[in-house]
A and B are shown apart, each in its own frame.
Chain A
Amino acid sequence: MILSKPDHETYKRENAIREKTIALCGNPNVGKSTLFNTLTGLRQHTGNWPGKTVSAAEGRFRLAGNSIVLIDLPGTYSLFTHSPEEEAAKDYILSGNADAIIIVCDATALERNLLLVFQVTSVCHKAAVAVNLMDEAERKGIHVDLDRLSALLHVPVVGIAGQKKRTLTPLLEVMKGLLHSEEGQNGSVHSALNEAEMKSFPERAHGIAEEVISQSSPSPDRFDRQLDSIVTGRRIGYPLMAALLAGLLWLTIRGTNIPSQILSEMLFTLGDRISGLFLAFGMPRVIHDALIFGVYRVLAWVISVMLPPMAVFFPLFTLLEDVGYLPRLAFNLDKPFQCCGACGKQALTMAMGLGCNAVGVTGCRIIDSPRERMLAILTNSLMPCNGRFPILITLITLFIAAGSPLLAAAVLTLIILLGVSVTLAATKLLSHTILKGESSFFTLELPPYRKPNIGQILVRSLFDRTLFVLRRAMTVAAPAGLLLWVLSNVGADGKSLLALTADCFEPLGRSLGMDGAIMIAFLLSWPANETFIPILLMVYLSRSTLMVPPSSGELREILLAHGWTASTAVSVVLFTMMHWPCAATVLTIFNETGSIRKTAEAVALPTVCGVLFCCVFKLIGSLLLS
């Protein structure tokens, strides 16, 4: 579209005011999000598996003194789309909203990427190609002739390594060039492309790939294949998965003991000081108590108990993600899930759920089939999130595997494997009842293993998680603590409201092998699972003296004094694993499904499982004892 002179002046004037927009598109898993992060400084969560980005992200960066909007589109294999996310990417590309489009390609897997390059450059005249992961290609002895590629494609081509800012200079130059160029852009796919032309794309791609790619080593994928033979091997694959899980959990347990103690001591001393300060300033006793015993106690607990496990688990998990292990997990587990009417990608969403169930539910977008996506959403809460880890770890180390982190890790691994089994069973049941259907068409891309930037991951993860825990503690735990303190200090007939409510739930609690206090602790920790133990303690010790996170010995004493036995601990562990999703997750489920009915089902499913397991366990216990 060539503008006539008068229009052109208006166009230039208008555009000078409006912020320019550049969109990043490309096949899944080529490093668009990493590039986006490097340019904008935002911290979008990245990982080495296809489909990681499920919605477009927007950020800004400076180019030649101007602020430019950068859009990171979800990966798409072609403009003739398949899933809603790819549809969104396609719509954006064709909308004309982007002033320039950068098609990001993987230097180690260029041929297939070219198919999308052909499509986009046919309809968009302000496009350029950024061949990413050039450092990985170099490591493998793969060389790409960028100049020749540019000549063959008739668009600018640059080579970059997305996470290294210094390699981006040529890309920035190309972007400047595109934004200042005078040509118009875009048209509809159907007007620009015809079937005959599209049919020639694969052959053209192959031809171009042969011309521009050269390998200095005969088999650049040798390392990947060797690693895959171990990771997906028939005999080693499954044990390796269990071992990795156990290892992850053991490191989490081992790595949290001492930091938790240090944190809680620090916060205890700080709490004393604050308390003294408040009293010195003549603060009314009631307000002092509410703030110190209510707000501060819960805050201190949550931080000292939740931060260390998260600070260990998340970096380790991110490391696995970045290396590219997760798609292999989906590959190994596809068959069992297929037998239950779902697909291997559900395993990925479950792995995400181990970190946070809300994130796991959003991640279900990687599953193409709506029915299988729903299966994954409804069962995600059966995987215990990081908020529930402290509960599980505490109870296991106090009652089941006292003193041995190795045994505790083994028990926790078994418990999570139980969660996996229940998920499979629930998925199968749903597939035969309310979500009837056959397994759908399934494809999974296994990307090349990539060398993770360990230092960067550790620092970024630690920082992210600390911020997250603190923010959550302020916004959820603190108010909850205040509310609880009020409930435990207001009452009638010498009993607080909290204690009265606990009494109401006593029969229900007992029938499940627990008690009333535990039941309302579960109910009241709905906003944040990690507040369960502080709430429980508050119920048990209403109107007590100041007591910031007790040592494990003290905690054990308190629980025993209130009638706990090892079997109570087991019941609580079972119910922790299987009960209604937390508030954030419920909200996310509603957002993703748009259906109150589905959200209700998602709340009911794990709860019913939990009730069932607790009842059966209680039954077995009473049978064994009699």
Chain B
Amino acid sequence: MFTENDRYLWDRSGTNEEVARLERLLSPLAHTPRPLLLRAPAPPRHPRWHRNAIALLATAATLTSVVLGAATYRFTWQDGQPWEGYVSTSGDPAKSVALGPGDVLRTDSDATAVLDIARIGTLTVLPGSVVELVETRTGQHRVELRTGAVRAKVWAPPWHFGISLGSTQVVDLGCEFELRREPGGRAVLRVYSGWVQLHGEVEAVVPAGAVAVVDPERGPGTPFRTGATGALRAALAAVDARSGAVHAAGPEVRSIVAETGPSDAITLVSLLSRYPHLARGPLFEHTHTMLPAGAMPDRARVVAGDTKALAAWWDALPYPAAKRWWLHWRDALDPSPAQASRRDS
């Protein structure tokens, strides 16, 4: 039977000291709800190599941005902005000079001028020379060498800088070269780094360590290395003088075969490119011996003038590819002549 004391036990109505005392004693043991302390998930910890890779990529991206920005500035030039530099004469202080489009610079027999080619290189005008600045703007800087000698050092993409010799254009492909022009128009190109292209009635590409003679009538001759023998130069001159109209097994070709070795590869490949019919003779096998590049090219295609037939030999030449002008980055480190002149004044 449910009594008054039971009511307190049931729903706390009424009183019951016994139950109340037990509640007071036991209530400290009651469950105290507390919020769950869930640990925040630890951030994913990348392996060390992953963290290093991210750092390297970030650094590379930053460096790339800096390099591209510097390159953009270097290759940009306001149309017609004069080239600055100085002229030095033995015994006299250097004098500042500025050359704008249409201006002609003449150096005395004992004077040398050094000019900034915009921001892409330097042009040294040697004593007794006459040079005209024809054009200067972004991607197109041209001078004419009327007579005398100049030395150019350029670090820029191909075709940014060139020198006119009248009907023949000397086009820089990212390099350093010296060009001498005689009063009669004959010119000699000597390349020290990179490549230079001779563009005229015929074309020629001249790599570092090679020389090419430009005839005022016939244009560029076949390039040859600096140390080529006199007999080889004479044979090449004879072939070029006749525009290649020599027998494929004639004395000139036999002389070329006898006087060339592996270091004359540019001469051999240039000959076959300029005068394809010479592939009918011993020059073809001789070139393959000097420049092994896998399978021998198809002789018939070479004779037919297929320029692609010689691609393997061109690729096998022991020089940096002409398009990789940036490999000659050291040419970009020379100080600006104009800056040097202002510093020394």
Partners in one complex: no
